[in-house]
Structure 1
């Protein structure tokens, strides 16, 4: 199953009139202006997706900063973006797909198999000299029927035991993993046994995913192979989805810990490790 579509592929679909739902998921930690950026310019026909309100429930210390919404709530959102059963969906952002991957993962989990990340995102579209437009896009309401359970997940108890028989990857920046800084969560450090695997290591200098062979080598160095169970977490389950996409491109499957570190560190009974060593 393909994970990515390139700019040429998306442009060809649009030029030939093939039905394609394009979704703009611009969001970044500390930048609440994703919709404003979208309104200024976006890929023609792209519909804006608001990550904090449409791809997450309200923050909850028990569930994390970006808890997954219910299936009915997510289905309502997907229909508001114009998605119908059988549609090809392409998601993008302007940060190497680090936020768009959240939508990719959620649609995959909901049973949509024809959903892709635009490799390189808006940056690649601009670099190709392709047109942009401003203002909102208001699509006709779609009729997609979503399910749940299409992607592997684990919870805090599973994450606590994961490293004993598998590989638990921490997709946050290395300094957050080591506990040197923590901009948003109440405790700094990482889940015991987790291996540092920053999401930025999945991308080249242009914000495109590394080739599959390079990603396989990267993850192999971190202990991932086809027979070892792998799980991923980040701060709140957003960039961990990007790591799962990178693992898929490399030929590996992995489970997501949706609550991630924001859920873990709010539970006083959960131990947190600082420093570069995974701990135990």
Structure 2
């Protein structure tokens, strides 16, 4: 399944929903999830209240799409599955539903929800290509305020997508292709605004997320994405892992790879925030 959906296709899907809930009230089988989030703010919920895609429900990345642990677990570790399931039910998700996730940062935060739901066994989820800007540019309406939805009954269980711990990430760097999708200057160790040490996991390859996004905020066409990944040593047979700063943007790399027709790579949820907080882990600097 194509992991992306266009604004026009989403508008058409929303206009065709006629399903009814077991309680007898009209209920859409398509849930739209607003995952606006930026490191350092402003709060996504405030932006949601100003205007969102009709029927959308706000999803808080920090509290619903991430857990909390030790520094060596990273800044955005995976939430316990029971917590994710409870959150998903509060969004109105039920088994058999479809979901579309969006943000206002070219999918880099919405992809976290996409990846988590896929990892937890909810397969029918897509990312709005180009996000809220694409919706508005296509003439889509926005509605203000909060959204209230009937709770769903979705059942979730982790284990559907490959994940890496620190040891496995090091092994992929040595034996396969470990993509570091942070900005190049962070990879090289020239700057580090968040984590305790600058640099990258030894053996990793610099693959900035920005290189997969076009000037219109949408993912590059599949052929261009495939060419980019091939230049990084990635093909359908390669053993591939991805990481970023805290595990959020790495999900966007997984999205881009599937959009390119490649297998979804193994993701290191702790990413460099976990790695750099462990003094026993070596850190490399420079272009390689």
| Equivalent residue, structure 1, for 2:281 | 270
CA offsets, 1:61-110, max 9 Å, x none? Answer: 12100010111110000000000111010000001000000000000001
1:174-212 deviations in Å (ceiling 9; x for gaps): 111111111111001100000011111111111111111
**Corresponding position: 1:133 with 2:143:** yes
2:67 corresponding residue in structure 1: 57
Equivalences for 1:1-280 in 2 at 5 Å?
A: 1-17=1-17, 19-58=29-68, 60-253=70-263, 254-277=265-288
8 Å CA contact 1:60, 1:67 repeated in 2? no
More deviation in 268-277 or 26-35? 26-35
How far did 1:122 drift? 0.1
Determine the C-alpha separation between the residues in 2 that align with 1:74 and 1:33: 20
TM-score by length of structure 2 reads 0.94
The alpha carbon displacement at 1:59 in A equals: 5.0
Q: Give structure 1 stretches of 5+ with no counterpart.
A: none
Runs of 4+ in 1 over 2 A off after TM superposition: none
Cα deviation for residue 58 of structure 1 reads 2.1
Q: Comparing 245-254 with 78-87, which one deviates more in the overlay?
A: 245-254
Unpaired runs of 5+ residues, structure 2, are: 19-28
TM-score, length basis structure 1:
0.97
Residues matched between the structures, number = 277
Aligned CA RMSD, in angstroms, stands at: 0.9
8 Å Cα contact 1:97-1:242 kept in structure 2:
yes
Q: Whole-Å Cα distance in 2 between the matches of residues 71 and 202 of structure 1?
A: 30
The verdict on how the C-alpha distance between 1:59 and 1:123 changes in structure 2, with shifts beyond 3 A counting, is farther
Deviations 1:234-265 (A, max 9, x none): 00110000000001111222100000000000
Equivalent residue of 1:62, what SS?
helix
Q: Distance in 1 between matches of 2:166 and 2:197?
A: 16
Alpha-carbon separation, structure 2, partners of 1:8 and 1:65: 35
Give, in whole Å, the separation in 2 of the partners of 1:122 and 1:83: 21
Give CA-to-partner distance per residue, 1:106-150, whole Å, 9 cap, x none.
000011110000011101001111110111101110000111101
